[in-house]
Amino acid sequence: MALIEITDFRTPGGWTDPQSSTQRSQECCRQLEEGNILFFRQMPFEMPQVDLDFLTGVKQSDSALHKNISYRPKADVLRGAEAAPPEAMQRLHRIMRSYSQNVTAFISRLLEPYAGSFRHDFASFRAIEEQGRDLPLHRRNDLMHVDAFPTRPTRGDRILRCFTNVNPAESRVWVTGEPMSVVAQRFAQDAGLSRLLARASTPAGRISRTLRHVLGPLAGKGAAQRTPYDEFMLSFHDYLKERQDYQDEKQGKLRTEFPPFSTWIVFTDGVPHSVLSGRLALEQTFIIPLSAMIVPEQSPARVLEKIAGQALLA
Ligand code: SIN
Ligand code: FE
């Protein structure tokens, strides 16, 4: 697990050496899939200074704009900023739309092998200081975890996130750990992998899954579409946060300070991570199909299937 700084790529120009672009793109995908972070010291795409000024002008005390704000690219909808004056809301909407489009163009060129197949998930503006946030244990971002979305099961596909620190003065501080190929080996059974599969294969387990399919959204948002893999990843997210000895462990962890205006990309379903401090970041999430992976055996679904000795994506 390492931070890999990329110095030979910028959008709209692309790779410095166009001759090796396909090979460099492949290398980047492989590095991400193996649990590394790709890091750009400067923002690798354009963002007007006036937009940056607007974002950095959002005060912690401005309750209308200091929640986590999300942007849904497919519907072109901004959520979480309803309390702000209409002008500020429209401005933020435009900025997030443009960030989302710029990151998408950037990722499509940087990670060419994923370009034709990824799906857009949400983007977010993270304006709350992360240090000292008072949240229930399972929602704390300062505890190491892997990402899993309760309402949007991925069914084995991957969660790729691109972050940009738009704070002009302070770094965003993360800790990352060894990837799923290592942590799953250590903890998946204790976290209940076999128990979950045994339960799922009993008559009661089968009936409950059929029922969830029949009930659809009534069963809970996303619940009907969950595979055993999604169920496990949701519980593994909580398990890691609860495991104090894992949280306290120093070995295998990397503390990274992402400086102002830097950008980083990581598969957050495969790399345990936590954020210790920082305020004002933009982020865009992509769902990359498992079938697009260059090293599929490193993906959480395949790693877990190997440990379990059975399919998890049925
Ligand atoms: C997370 O995905 O846990 C939060 C990361 C961040 O906001 O920096
Ligand atoms: Fe996370």
Best mutation site among 130, 166, 256, 262 for ligand 1 pocket (most ligand atoms within 8 Å of CB): 130
Ligand whose nearest atom lies closest to the CA of 256 = 1
State whether the beta carbon of 275 lies less than 6 angstroms from ligand 1.
Answer: yes
**Which has more confidence, 200 or 66?**
200
Query: What pLDDT was estimated at residue 63?
Result: 64
Share of the chain above pLDDT 70, in %: 96
Confidence bin at 211 (pLDDT 50/70/90): confident
Query: What pLDDT was estimated at residue 204?
Result: 73
Do the Cβ atoms of 147 and 237 come closer than 8 Å?
Answer: yes
Tokens 């000292």, residue located: 132
Instruction: Give one DSSP letter per residue of 93-119, joined into a string.
Output: HHHHHHHHHHHHHHHHHHTGGGTTT-E
What angle do the packed helices 86-110 and 49-56 form, to 10 degrees? Answer: 120
State whether the beta carbon of 126 lies less than 6 angstroms from ligand 1.
Answer: yes
Ligand whose nearest atom lies closest to the CA of 283 = 1
Ligand whose nearest atom lies closest to the CA of 148 = 2
Q: Model pTM?
A: 0.95
Cα(183) to centroid(ligand 2), Å? 16
Beta strands in the chain (DSSP E): 3-5, 9-10, 14-15, 37-40, 68-72, 77-79, 119-126, 158-165, 172-176, 254-258, 263-267, 273-277, 281-288
State whether the beta carbon of 141 lies less than 6 angstroms from ligand 1.
Answer: yes
Q: Whose CA is nearest to atom 1 of ligand 1?
A: 141
Backbone angles phi, psi at 225, to 5 degrees: -90, -5
Cα(94) to centroid(ligand 2), Å? 25
Q: What are the sequence ranges of the domains in the chain?
A: 3-179+252-295
The DSSP output letter for 149 is: -
The Cα–Cα gap between 296 and 56 comes to 39
Share of the chain above pLDDT 90, in %: 81
In ligand 1, which atom is closest to the CA atom of 172? 8
Do the Cβ atoms of 80 and 201 come closer than 8 Å?
Answer: no
Q: Mean per-residue pLDDT for 212-238?
A: 84
Each residue's pLDDT tens digit, 141-164:
999 999 999 999 999 999 999 999
Q: Mean per-residue pLDDT for 65-90?
A: 89
Amino acid identity, position 232 = F
In ligand 1, which atom is closest to the CA atom of 278? 8
Query: Would you say residue 64 has pLDDT above 90?
Result: no
Any idea which fold 3-179+252-295 has? Jelly Rolls (2.60.120)
Each residue's pLDDT tens digit, 254-303:
999 999 999 999 999 999 999 999 999 999 999 999 999 999 999 999 99
Each residue's pLDDT tens digit, 173-210:
999 999 999 999 999 999 999 999 988 777 777 777 77
In ligand 1, which atom is closest to the CA atom of 163? 8
Sign, CA dihedral 83-86-91-97, equals positive
Best mutation site among 126, 149, 170, 280 for ligand 1 pocket (most ligand atoms within 8 Å of CB): 126
Cα(286) to centroid(ligand 2), Å? 14
Best mutation site among 247, 264, 267, 268 for ligand 1 pocket (most ligand atoms within 8 Å of CB): 268
State whether the beta carbon of 268 lies less than 6 angstroms from ligand 1.
Answer: yes
